[in-house]
A = this chain, B = another copy of it.
Amino acid sequence: MSGSVFGTLFKISTWGESHGKALGVVIDGCPSGIYLSENDFIKDMSRRKPGNKSVSTKRNESDKVVILSCVFEGKTTGAPLSLLVYNEDHISRDYENIKDVFRPGHADYTYYEKYGIRDYRGGGRSSGRETLTRVAAGVVAKKILEYLDINVFAYTNSISDIFVSNDNFDIKECSKNPLFMPDAENSKKAMEYITNISKDGDSVGGTIKCIIKNLPKGLGQPVFDKLDADLAKAIFSIGAVKGFEIGLGFNSSTKKGSQNNDIFYTDETGEICKKTNNSGGILGGISDGDDIVLNIAIKPTPSISIPQETVTTKKESTIIKVSGRHDPVIVPRAVVVVEAMVSITLVDHIFMNMVSKIENISSFYKNSK
């Protein structure tokens, strides 16, 4: 299985299964001189953790990140950075009941077809637990973004058809409800909805918005490695994502050019700006200085305790009832994963953009002499 390496200059290589000894990530291309400690990971790792009984798995995941290399006397040395999280309760339960059965909506069947073998303990490599290595790498990426005052922020924009309303929008609400939803009223409604379907053993999906602020102009490499193209890949590499939009997204398809084009003007500081941001901060694959605005669709958790028809590895019909710890909704836990993947992608583009002009390269080396 190739495919667990991401990035060109800021390159992450992740590994680990949900019920193996540990999961981890190696970052090759982390610059030297960054202050980094194991405590830096706590906040985002806990945002990814199950925090609320109603919406998240009951698994006791302390998910402490261990730094195994690269950091010396508190700072990164430029060497590859190896981060590891142990699976504390990886002594496997009895998986006999799902061992030979393909769970609907899961990757059991496709992994089995591709590899002829499957780590059936909780999904193995295809488990959502894989995302914690993304969050760990994302913390390092965010550290780098901090040096450039770039801010990446994501939140739950809808659960089922309950959307954040513009009128109620309050970013501070995100930290006050388990759904990371910036809307006190609708987060309550969404919580009630989740509680109800959860009782039935069912699950639900939702959408996530992600905003990038203060990104330098000029990021993105035409024509294939456009900033939006690489963000699309980054986001779609997250397990449950089924849709991705930038700016107006699908709504732009019903607009006229005269409605959709953002008008340029020069503001009082002499900066060229756009009157609207239908483009979502990217023109021709290159950041235009405006906020980048992403919208992401997350499917409902495939693990439900409602009995479902399916087949076995011997191709026989059977009924499966997925028991165990499962989130009725994974949207709120995916919020920080989205931020991580976006941040990792941005760092790579920040690095690549430095060699766009010969005058920049030339002055870099003249100054460093």
Contact = CB atoms under 8 A, between A and B. Distances in A.
Interface stretch (A40-48, A50-58, A168-176, A359-367): A359-367
A68 B21 contact: yes
A223 to B, nearest CB: 5
Contacts of A107: 222, 283-286
A232 interface: yes
**Number of copies of this kind of chain in the complex:** 4
8 contacts: A1-B32, A4-B221, A17-B79, A78-B117, A106-B283, A216-B365, A252-B299, A264-B311
Contacts of A265: 309-311, 317
A261 interface: yes
A170 to B, nearest CB: 22
A266 B316 contact: yes
Nearest to A282: B110
Nearest to A267: B315
A9 B351 CA distance: 11
A256 B204 contact: yes
A201 to B, nearest CB: 8
A283 B72 CA distance: 22
B82 A24 contact: yes
Contact of A258 (B16, B202, B217): B202
Interface string A337-369: 000000000000011111111111110111011
Contacts of A70: 15, 17
Contacts of A356: 1, 31-32, 78, 114-115
Given A28-B4, A109-B283, A285-B107, A300 B80 contact: no
A203 B26 CA distance: 35
A11 B2 contact: yes
Given A3-B226, A78-B115, A350 B360 contact: no
A260 B105 contact: yes
Contacts of A124: 72, 77, 79
Contacts of A302: 257, 260-261
A88 interface: no
A136 interface: no
A224 B248 contact: no
Question: For A17, A26, A255, which residue has the most chain B Cβ atoms within 10 angstroms?
Answer: A26
A144 B229 CA distance: 25
A142 interface: no
A-B pairs with lowest CB-CB distance, top 3: A107-B284, A3-B221, A3-B225
Given A111-B286, A124-B72, A237-B226, A299 B351 contact: no
Interface in A159-213: 160-161, 197, 202-207
A351 B357 contact: no
A110 B78 CA distance: 13
Contacts of A229: 232-234, 236-237
A79 B119 contact: yes
Contacts of A323: none
A353 B114 contact: yes
Contacts of A351: 355, 361
A253 to B, nearest CB: 4
Contact of A28 (B1, B69, B270): B1
